[in-house]
A and B are shown apart, each in its own frame.
Chain A
Amino acid sequence: MTKEIEAFTAEIVDEATQYGLKDICEVCGVHAERVVEMVEAGIIQARGDKPTSWRFSAVSVMRSRRALRLQRDLEINAPGLAVTLELLDEVESLRAQVHSLTQQLEKLQR
């Protein structure tokens, strides 16, 4: 079955879009305690000094969804998740660097 739907504007997932604690709980389908746990473990960053005034970026929301999937599928605890996500970030940034440098090198050798 094919269904045609009209043009949707995609939003860039970046630091600009902000969510409150309630929003992030809804999007992730978890209780606030789980979000507090993720913030305390350093898995995601919250702006603001107390949970009621916390603001999360769209990047943090995506990150917490990812963290929860990993926790569900691989049974990783919070500190383990923090390490895993940090290493994944590093792998991604190194990959991007290698990609960019390889391309620059190709252009210099032409």
Chain B
Amino acid sequence: MQFKDYYEIMGVPEDAAPDDIKKAYRTLARKHHPDLNKDKDTGEKFKELGEAYEVLKDPAKREEYDQLRKYGASAGGEFKPPPGWQSGADFSDGGYTTADTADFSDFFDSIFRHGTARKSYSTGGDRTGARSGGSTFAVRGEDAHYRISVTLAEAYEGSTRAISLQTHRYDGEGHPVPETKTLNVKIPKGVTQGQNIRLRGQGGAGFGGAPNGDLYMEVDLQPHALYTVEGRDVILVLPVTPWEAALGSSVKVPTLGGAVNLTIPPNAQSGRKMRLKGRGLPGTPPGDQYVVLQITLPPVDSAEDRALMETMAKQMAFNPRTTLGV
């Protein structure tokens, strides 16, 4: 088992005053809180920090830890609690803790949960809120949060996919037991970037007969070669010839649901945005597809092409730079 140096994790010296530990926790918690940060490893860092703070903020636990730390340091990285070690902190049986200790490390367990049933846990809310009498507690499981990468085609049509997640359940004695769950998840059609989808009851296990937490998955839409997505709307850059734009025309345009004809009005300019109503991602109401015209010049290679361009230059008195004042 890896020895965890809680002082190092919190970036404080061994003799740090309680106030400095609190200050360090607050600063680091803001930096690594998963609700404030989207980085992948903030969750892990925050858990580690919570674990370190849980021990260092409590004088009794801190003292025990300090003793063990001297012992652990001499064992050279690999940590085993001394034989016959038993935590004296009123923690392992019945004490409340402010953090979700189910996710704490084996190292933490080996020190503070040695041999006794685990009865301390918390919810995101009032710790007494779910108290149902005397010494029995029922606490709803924590919500689990994941990110899920979805292609635009999957978002349009919906899809089913197998997802593996790390979770824990409680055994008969109230110990959290890590568990790998594989779920086949039906992703409904019409999901879009940043949206959350939820599986009820698939989050952390509830305690004492309380319901499980929910599993939330934040959708990450994979970039598409043709379309850009904004909410439920999709945007397509459509190359058109100068004559299609100048004379007006009907051109074929791809959409998520198949090709449709788009009427381009005469004298359309580059950058003009046209709307295909209801051709975006499905929903109530469905999104639209926006088509942005991009006038594309043909390569002028032959003498004939050149002659055509020269004729235009001669016959069309056109200066697109009049607004530039030159």
Contacts and interface: CB of A to CB of B under 8 A. Distances in A.
Contacts of B33: 70, 73-74
B228 A103 contact: yes
A13 B195 contact: yes
Interface in B151-191: 160, 179-188, 190-191
A4 interface: yes
Nearest to A107: B237
A26 B132 CA distance: 13
A3 to B, nearest CB: 6
B124 interface: yes
B35 A70 contact: yes
Contacts of B198: 10-13, 58, 62
Interface in B190-208: 190-191, 193-200, 202
B89 interface: no
B29 interface: yes
Q: How large is the interface on B (under 10, 10 to 19, 20 to 34, 35 or more residues)?
A: 35 or more
B33 to A, nearest CB: 6
Contacts of B139: 29
B229 interface: yes
A5 B182 contact: yes
B125 A1 contact: no
Given A68-B125, A108-B294, A1 B179 contact: yes
B171 to A, nearest CB: 12
B217 A10 contact: yes
B184 A10 contact: no
14 contacts: A2-B180, A2-B181, A5-B184, A6-B184, A10-B217, A11-B188, A11-B198, A13-B197, A27-B140, A28-B124, A28-B125, A29-B123, A29-B139, A74-B26
Interface of A: 1-14, 16, 26-31, 34, 58, 62, 65-66, 68-70, 72-75, 84, 88, 92, 96, 99-100, 103-104, 107-108
Given A2-B181, A6-B184, A107-B237, 18 more contacts: A4-B182, A7-B185, A8-B184, A8-B185, A9-B186, A11-B188, A13-B198, A13-B216, A27-B140, A27-B214, A29-B123, A30-B125, A34-B126, A62-B198, A70-B36, A72-B124, A74-B26, A88-B36
